[in-house]
Amino acid sequence: MKILFVTSEVYPLIKTGGLADVSYSLPKALKKLHQDIRLVLPAYASVLERLKTIETIATVEVTAYSKPVHILRSKLEGMPIYLIEATDYFQRPGHPYIHPQGHDWPDNAQRFATFCRAVIKLGQDPLNLNWQPDIVHCNDWQTGLIPALLSQQAQRPATLFTIHNLAYQGLFPYHQFYELQLPNELWSMHGLEFYGQMSFIKGGLYFADHMTTVSPSYAREIKTNEFAYGLEGLLKTRSPQLTGILNGIDTQVWNPKTDSYINKNYDEKRLHKKTNKQQLQQKMQLPVEPNTLLFAYIGRLVAQKGVDLILNSLEQLMAYPIQFVILGSGEAELEQQLTQAQQSYPQQMAIHLAYDEALSHQIEASADVFLMPSRYEPCGLNQLYSLRYGTIPIVRRTGGLMDTVVEATTRNIIQHKATGFLFDEANVMDFTHACLQAIDYYYHKPKIWRQLIRTAMQEDFSWQISAKEYLQLYQSIKK
Ligand code: ADP
């Protein structure tokens, strides 16, 4: 099967979140299943710097009104990768979607419309590459126009659209639809229009042959008004074409036995987390106390992730002998509140407000508990990395979190199934209660704690099973 995997970020070239990890590890797993899969990505400045051999294979006109776009070809660890080079749109430093001042790049509609149009050209093979995809696999709103535009063609590849996060929809005012000179027929509630605005994600949700989300529970949740932001009607109607497939993790990149970022490698038999913890405490200027329970948070600092619950639980939790390490970047207000909290508890709390891949591995290898109090979570990867690193997750019962963490109930503990702690409501009381439970187990039930770690580390979240599910789906929609 020939698959074109379209994404706006891929690890290790450019990453803002889980999408980049999936765009790296899912194609790799499909390649192992002997599929002819190729990636296509915007040619951001940082990507061009990181790839070694790059050749220009074509120059295409995407619209009559815009500058021609170059299609480049390279390889990422043996995987063919195409890059869409539109210099005005992608040759800029910094974040792929957000301006340094914190707002979206004002030309995001033009940027990703150009990207989508160029991808369609690539799929049509006007370049005589002798390669036409059977499947175009699109991911998130940045690629949403592709299924919409392809739907207007008689002969076209099948399209799959994966929703990694329904909250990000690519909404733009009508005048941008007009300026982009998109086909008029697409301006309809049975198309890209969403309450008077243009919605890129609707292009995927309405027109793709099939849709997936990144966990079964999130697939159910987005058909309810609590999680769907007004898109529940469309998603309910298209329910037969919506499947939840759990994300996997790259078990080579995230392997405590071989991880080169961490100080002391380990496995479930020889657990060296305390040695790593000492190193981390030193590095983060916390008192070096290997026996003290260390809580960790890594992730984007946004309301979705429930960072406010962590902040508001500190007063109660800090009475216990515990430490916190927090790594993240995001909303200015949350960054400021975390800085204040760190100043209030300098002996117990360390923060690093940045994006730091190496430190994220070191934290996973050192911490005892990983906090993920997300308000919603399509899949979540950090709880999976945590399980693999024997860092017991505390998660809210939502989306992919509840599909992957097994609650430490008495029955689950007896059956050696438990791997973490869950709580129901996104409020401080429920969250604090789960943290207190973890503190109690860590200090007073060390045997059970050790068992939780062992069970967690033995879980298999590799891509093996999920990649096969994607393959079956591709086969079922192939034209
Ligand atoms: P989301 O995609 O919503 O951000 P996920 O849990 O699916 O959440 O994926 C987040 C990914 O980004 C993980 O690989 C996580 O380790 C990484 N990450 C997020 N913030 C940071 C950071 N500040 N430093 C290093 N890695 C980070």
Most ligand 1 atoms within 8 A of CB, residue of 251, 300, 375 to mutate: 300
| The pair of three-digit structure tokens given for residue 262, joined into one six-digit string | 């961490």
Q: In the beta sheet, which residues pair with residue 384?
A: none
Q: What domains lie within the chain, and their CATH numbers?
A: 2-248+463-477 (3.40.50.2000), 273-458 (3.40.50.2000)
pLDDT tens, residue by residue, 193-226: 999 999 999 999 999 999 999 999 999 999 999 9
What is the Å distance from ligand 1's center to 382 Cα?
A: 7
Question: Residues 6 or more apart from 155 whose CB is under 8 A from it?
Answer: none
**Residue pair 169/225 in contact by the 8 Å Cβ criterion:** no
Residues 24-70: tens digit of each pLDDT:
999 999 999 999 999 999 999 999 999 989 999 999 999 888 899 99
Contacts of 460 (CB under 8 A, 6+ apart): none
Is-above-0.85 flag for pTM?
A: yes
**Helix (H) / strand (E) containing 136:** strand 135-139
For residue 196, count CB atoms less than 10 angstroms from its CB and return exposed for 0-12, middle for 13-18, buried for 19 or more. Answer: exposed
The fraction of the chain above a pLDDT of 90, given in percent, is 94
Cα-to-centroid distance, 20 and ligand 1 (Å): 9
Distance between CA atoms of residues 323 and 294, nearest Å: 5
Report the nearest-CA residue for atom 21 of ligand 1: 299
Q: How far apart are CA 390 and CA 368, in angstroms?
A: 8
Of all atoms in ligand 1, which is nearest to the CA of residue 300? 20
Packed helices 446-458 and 428-444: angle between N→C axes, nearest 10 degrees: 110
The binding-site residues of ligand 1, defined as CB within 6 angstroms of any ligand atom, are 17-18, 21, 298-300, 327-329, 355-357, 360, 379-382
Q: Pick from 186, 104, 100, 181: which is nearest to 147 by CA?
A: 186
Amino acid at 5: F
Q: What is the pLDDT of residues 86-105, one digit of tens each?
A: 999 999 988 999 998 889 99
